[in-house]
């Protein structure tokens, strides 16, 4: 095998269908002596362990509902896994990052994640990643997105689906987010305002009854991003904040341009200075959206209520 093989595997009927779809792929890797990492929800992990029998002890299992709560955390995990076995032959993985009760904005970031995988591992060592999609639980447009973000597709493709051209991760990254809603709080800041900005975010957390570590995490993430704006984007930026039924949203925008769509998804040791703030936000927040072009950069932080 040459290079990276990124495959969507379509299945039906929940955990039983998942086991039928991916257990042979996992077993084949074990038989060949290839390292295998499986990232699935706990119920799916238990079912796969039962199906694999003694071979399950040779597989690394990860709870995707924890790892992939923010999809931006997944690529660094795969980078560590692939790098760990670099030069020893191919590895393989299974990751179900898209599940039925994801919010719409989460599904949007899952699509971005799948597109970025192709960019992240295109020049790297040979390995295979299978991404299961339950066609009996997911909406048709989610399956269409899966076909666009995966160069390879296994399983029964719905007859109504057509293979559109592959998603362009760089174009997706440059496409602006919808503007902040009417009524969102707006603060223009520069270096002198950073300390006060922390207080503003903390008060916003108090208003929606966020407490303890969750407040501290959001305050730190917003501060890191605002510091990036001051240091790397002309000395100033704009913070917007608003509440939805599901989340407190903090947005930091500036006139800077980020060239690398994988910003904040690199292993920690590989972080460029400008990517540190995004990486910290990815670790601290429930969801992070980053979009950037020559017109500027926008980062949105979501904390679920």
**Dist. CA 241–CA 225, nearest whole Å:** 14
Residue labelled with tokens 């929800």: 41
Closest CA relative to residue 32, chosen from 95, 76, 91, 94 = 91
For 219, list phi and psi in degrees, rounded to 5: -60, -45
Residues 163, 192 within the same domain: no
Averaged over 267-280, what is the pLDDT? 67
Q: How many domains does the chain have?
A: 2
pLDDT at residue number 162: 52
Closest CA relative to residue 243, chosen from 282, 210, 271, 274 = 210
Asked if 210 and 218 touch (Cβ cutoff 8 Å), the reply is: yes
Averaged over 69-89, what is the pLDDT? 94
pLDDT in tens, 179-238: 999 999 999 999 999 999 999 999 999 999 998 999 999 999 999 999 999 999 999 999
pLDDT at residue number 271: 46
Residues 181, 157 within the same domain: no
pLDDT at residue number 81: 96
Q: Residue 122: how many CB atoms within 10 A of its CB?
A: 10
**The domain that contains 111 carries what CATH number?**
3.40.50.300
Answer with the one of 171, 197, 225 that is the final residue of a domain: 171
pLDDT in tens, 248-268: 999 999 999 999 999 999 865
pLDDT at residue number 177: 97
Boundaries of domain holding 225 = 176-304
Residues 150, 299 within the same domain: no
Residues 99, 143 within the same domain: yes
pLDDT at residue number 12: 95
Residues 191, 157 within the same domain: no
pLDDT in tens, 86-136: 888 899 999 999 999 999 999 999 999 999 999 999 888 899 999 999 999
Closest CA relative to residue 219, chosen from 235, 234, 241, 188 = 241
The phi-psi region of residue 181 (left if phi > 0; otherwise alpha if psi is between -120 and 50; otherwise beta) is beta
Residues 31, 113 within the same domain: yes
Checking if the pLDDT of 284 tops 80, the result is yes
pLDDT at residue number 287: 98
**The domain that contains 278 carries what CATH number?**
3.30.565.10
Checking if the pLDDT of 270 tops 80, the result is no
Residues 96, 139 within the same domain: yes
| Strand pairing report for 296-304 and 91-95 | unpaired
Q: Long-range contacts made by residues 164-171, C-beta under 8 angstroms, separation at least 24?
A: 166/118, 167/111, 167/114, 167/115, 168/115, 169/112, 169/115, 169/116, 169/118, 169/119, 169/261, 170/119, 170/261
Residues 166, 182 within the same domain: no
**Residue 263 corresponds to which tokens in the numbers above?**
């910003």
Averaged over 18-31, what is the pLDDT? 98
3-class secondary structure, 73: helix
pLDDT in tens, 27-68: 999 999 999 999 999 999 999 999 999 999 999 999 999 999
**Dist. CA 131–CA 281, nearest whole Å:** 25
Residues 281, 184 within the same domain: yes
pLDDT at residue number 216: 97
pLDDT-derived band at 298 (thresholds 50, 70, 90) equals very high
């Amino acid at each position: 095998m040459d290079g990276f093989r990124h495959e969507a595997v379509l299945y039906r009927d929940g955990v039983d269908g998942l086991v039928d779809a991916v257990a042979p792929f996992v077993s084949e890797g074990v038989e060949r002596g290839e390292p295998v990492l499986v990232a699935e929800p706990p119920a799916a992990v238990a079912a796969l362990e039962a199906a694999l029998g003694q071979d399950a002890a040779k597989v690394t299992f990860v709870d995707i509902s924890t790892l992939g709560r923010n999809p931006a955390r997944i690529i660094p995990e795969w980078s560590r896994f692939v790098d760990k076995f670099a030069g020893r032959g191919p590895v393989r993985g299974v990751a179900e990052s898209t599940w039925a009760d994801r919010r719409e904005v989460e599904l949007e970031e899952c699509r971005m994640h799948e597109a970025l995988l192709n960019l992240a591992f295109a020049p790297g060592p040979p390995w295979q990643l299978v991404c299961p999609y339950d066609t009996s639980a997911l909406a048709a447009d989610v399956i269409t997105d899966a076909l666009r973000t995966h160069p390879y597709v296994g399983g029964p493709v719905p007859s109504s689906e057509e293979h559109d051209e592959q998603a362009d991760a760089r174009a997706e990254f440059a496409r602006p987010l919808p503007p902040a809603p009417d009524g969102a709080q707006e603060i223009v800041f520069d270096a002198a305002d950073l300390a006060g900005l922390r207080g503003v975010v903390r008060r916003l957390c108090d208003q929606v009854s966020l407490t303890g570590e969750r407040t501290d995490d959001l305050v730190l993430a917003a501060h890191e991003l605002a510091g990036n704006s001051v240091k790397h984007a002309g000395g100033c930026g704009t913070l917007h904040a608003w509440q939805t039924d599901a989340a407190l949203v903090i947005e930091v925008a500036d006139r800077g341009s980020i060239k690398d769509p994988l910003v904040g998804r690199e292993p920690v040791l590989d972080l460029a200075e400008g990517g540190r703030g995004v990486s910290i936000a990815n670790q601290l927040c429930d969801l992070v959206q980053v979009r950037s072009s020559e017109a500027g950069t926008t980062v949105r932080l979501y904390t679920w209520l």
